[in-house]
Amino acid sequence: MPSLFPTRLPAAKSVCIFLLTGMLAVTLTACTKSVETVDRPSGTLPWTAAIGRLDAQDGSCSATLIKPDLILTASHCLYGRGNQARITDFSFTPALDIGRERLKAVKVTEVVAMGWPIKPDTSGKLSGAPKDDWAALRISPAIDFVTPLRIEKVGVEDIYQRMEKGATLSHGGYGVYGAFSGKRLQMRQNCQLIRDADEMLETGHDVIVNSCDVIPGDSGGPILLSDGERHYVVGVVTNFWGAHGGKDFSSFGPSSVYFADKLGADTAATLAP
C-alpha cells in the first residue's frame, strides 16, 4: 500500500558568496540554506509538535492535533472577516519550528463539530458565547508522525484542585506580532486562574480565564494542564481582556467540558488523582 506521505522533496540549494580580490580568491563561508519543505520530519519531534498553525488567505490562527485526522481550534477562526463559516481555503501545519525543515501543510476538508455558528447582531458585529467558541476540523491526509494531544474533560473548579496538587496550566499558539513571530510556537507557562472572572466578563461558567497573555493568531491554540510529563488539552484559547487601564492582558476560552463529549470517547483521557 503506497504511503500517504511519499518521498521527501528535493533538498534546497545552498547559496554561497565568492569574493575575488586581486590574485587571491577568498571564499566567504556565509552560505545560507533555505528551509526545506518536507512531507515527514527527518528526526524526532517534541510533544509540542501537535500544536500547529491554521492558515487561510485572510489570516492565521492556531490549532491542535487531537487525532491523526482531527484538529481542534476556535470557531471564530473559521469566519475570517465575513459572516459565513468557510473551510475551503484552510490548511494546517504542525511543528513550524523544527530547525532547517518545514513540514508540508495539509488541507482542512470538513467541519466535524463546532460550538457556534456565530451570528451578526443588528449592527453587523459577529457575536457568540465564549463557551461555544470551539471547532473540530477534519484534515487530509492524516498526520501519522505526530503524537496527538489528548483531551481531558475537566472544568474550572477541577483545574483549581489539580493545580493545588502541583499541576501547571499553560497555553501555546502562533501569534503574529513581528517579522519572525507566527513562524515559531510561543508557549505561555505557569498561567494562573483568575477567580470570579466569569461574572465580571460575562463569559459564563467553566470558561477558563487565566493570567497569561495572548496576541492575534494565538486563537485556537490549546489551554493545557500538565502533570509531570503528561500534557492534556483542557480548553481552547479564544480571546483576551485588558485590566488596569489596558496595560495587563489575560486570556480566556471554553474549557473541555463544552466539547470533550462531542469529539468521541477515544480523545478523552483522565489524569491520575
Distance between CA 236 and CA 242 in Å, rounded?
19
User: How many CB atoms lie under 10 A from the CB of residue 215?
Assistant: 18
Q: What is the CATH number of domain 150-262?
A: 2.40.10.10
Per-residue pLDDT of the chain (273 residues), as tens digits, is 333 323 333 334 444 433 434 333 444 444 445 778 888 888 888 999 999 999 887 778 999 999 999 999 999 888 766 666 677 678 999 988 777 888 899 999 999 999 876 666 666 666 678 889 999 999 999 999 999 999 999 999 999 999 999 999 999 999 876 655 567 898 999 999 887 655 545 556 789 989 888 888 899 999 999 998 899 999 999 987 655 445 456 788 999 999 999 887 455 443 333
Contact 76, 56 (CB under 8 A): no
Whether 150-262 and 47-140 are alike in CATH topology: the answer is yes
pLDDT at 265: 47
Cell of 63: 490549532
Which residue in this structure is represented by grid cell 519543505?
Answer: 37
Question: DSSP letter string over 165-221?
Answer: TT-EEEEEE---SSSSTTSS-EEEEEE-B-TTHHHHHT--TTEEEES----TT-TTP
pTM: 0.80
- Residue 111 vs residues 78, 81, 87, 226: alpha-carbon distances, Å: 10, 18, 8, 28
pLDDT at 231: 95
| Domain edges within the chain | 47-140, 150-262
Burial 38-74 (b: 16+ CB within 10 A, else e): bbbbeeeeeebbbbbbbbbeeebbbbbbbbebbbbbb
Distance between CA 203 and CA 250 in Å, rounded?
13
Which residue in this structure is represented by grid cell 463546532?
Answer: 114
pLDDT at 216: 84
Distance between CA 95 and CA 166 in Å, rounded?
28
Reported CATH class of domain 47-140: mainly beta
pLDDT at 160: 92
